Amino acid sequence: MLLWLRYFACLMLTLAFSQHSYAIEQPLAEQLLQRSIVVPQVQYQITAVELSAEELVRDRALFHQFNDLPAGKATLRVTAQQALWLLVQLNNPFPETWQAWLHYPFLPADRLSFYQLQPEIPSAQLLGKTGSLLPYSERALPVRGYVQSVSLEANGSATLLLKIQDASLLGTELRLASLPILLAEAQQQLLEDALLSGVLLLLVLTTLYCSWLQRNTALCFLAGFYLSFALVLGILNGLAFNQLWPVYPELNPVILYIAVGSCLLCLTLFSRRSLLQYAGSRARQLNMLAAAAALLLIFSPLFASGPLKLQLLFVSVSVTLSIVIIQAIYISLTTELKAAPRYALLATLGTFCLLFVQTRYLSGFAEWLNLAIFLLLVSSALLLQPARSQHLN
């Protein structure tokens, strides 16, 4: 296990540093030959979902209500009755016709429509439709996110309009790339995602093995946490939809809440079985509150709308993880239970994994958080090793 983790660590470090090796300003054409770029000067508007692209373009007063997207605004909250419109202008820096690819990387979006504007008419030509509510086979390319090709004349430009729908949260980042670069970056992302998934599955097996050696049922709940966390990660990076339910897109709007709730419930039960055996009634009551919050999130798709589900997600994660981490630190410092510090660290690392993956995919899209999650998982594996060695000796 440790040998495999060393190999994974070296590869993850190589991938992480390779993504930040372009610090020198370069002309746009040279940048596009090396990597995808973030589309600058994106404008946005939120309207009623019933509004069509043709109505928006032909209503000049409404069309002029687009605003510049604030810098650093990675996500916007919407409801099921609203649609987010993004307006961008793409320029061809090459002296020949260029087949550009516009990439929208936010996977949870329910529906996404691409339009090319023709200002002289005015009208909006539909280029394509996609989204998480459509089968995986209907996507233009097998990449993380949604893409649309646009043909740009030599040194020409095109204005594109995107209509994006979701019941809770939408990303605002758009990227531009050529097809070879887009596919190469997709392969690198797939490699990173596969490595993290592989480490998680190894961690599940290692935890179950340690549980069997020690006859410790608490570690079974920890293994359940790692397995649920692997599902959460697969949902957010798209691997789960691609591999597990590609023809059942109706699962996408609800499965994330169920998987995160399962993570929180397993972590709460692990804390209860490993750390709260000798704690007072107040600590057990707080643990039951955390378990109730996790169960509420698991069953939220049955009664909650999109914004309420998102609010429950953030509240349940905050409440459960706060209770688990505070109790873990307190009990490890005040009890004489021999394994308390190690169990407390395992619970703490699990909480940080959930927080980091939420920030990585739903808030800031920071690539370096993949490496941070990987290091937390490696640390968790190292914490499991001493108990196994002691038992074997």
Q: What pLDDT score was predicted for residue 278?
A: 63
Alpha-carbon gap, residue 78 to 46, rounded angstroms: 8
Pair 163, 110: CB distance under 8 Å: no
- The interaxial angle of helices 252-275 and 281-298, nearest 10 deg, is 160
Report the pLDDT value the prediction gives residue 22, as an integer from 0 to 100: 43
pLDDT of residue 338: 62
Residues listed for the chain: 393
Write down the domain spans for the chain. 36-177, 186-392
Residue 219: what pLDDT?
87
In contact, 12 and 192? CB cutoff 8 Å: yes
**Tokens standing for residue 59:** 């209503």
pLDDT in tens, the chain (393 residues): 545 545 545 555 454 444 444 434 567 778 888 888 889 889 999 999 999 999 999 988 999 899 998 877 778 888 889 999 999 999 988 889 999 999 998 888 999 999 999 877 788 999 999 999 999 988 989 888 899 999 999 888 999 999 999 878 888 889 999 999 999 999 988 888 888 888 888 889 988 988 888 888 888 998 998 899 889 888 888 889 988 999 999 898 889 899 999 999 998 888 888 776 666 778 788 888 989 999 999 999 888 877 888 888 888 888 888 888 887 777 777 766 666 667 767 777 777 777 777 666 665 555 666 677 777 777 777 777 654 444 433
Give the other-Cβ count within 10 Å of 303's Cβ. Answer: 10
What's the confidence (pLDDT) of residue 380? Answer: 76
pTM, two decimal places: 0.83
Calculate the dihedral angle through the C-alpha atoms of 76, 73, 177, 167, rounding to the nearest 10 degrees.
-10
Structural contact between residues 130 and 139, judged by C-beta atoms closer than 8 angstroms: yes
Among 222, 105, 106, CA closest to 170: 106
Q: In whole angstroms, what is the distance from residue 20 CA to residue 25 CA?
A: 13
The CATH code of domain 36-177 reads 2.60.40.2380
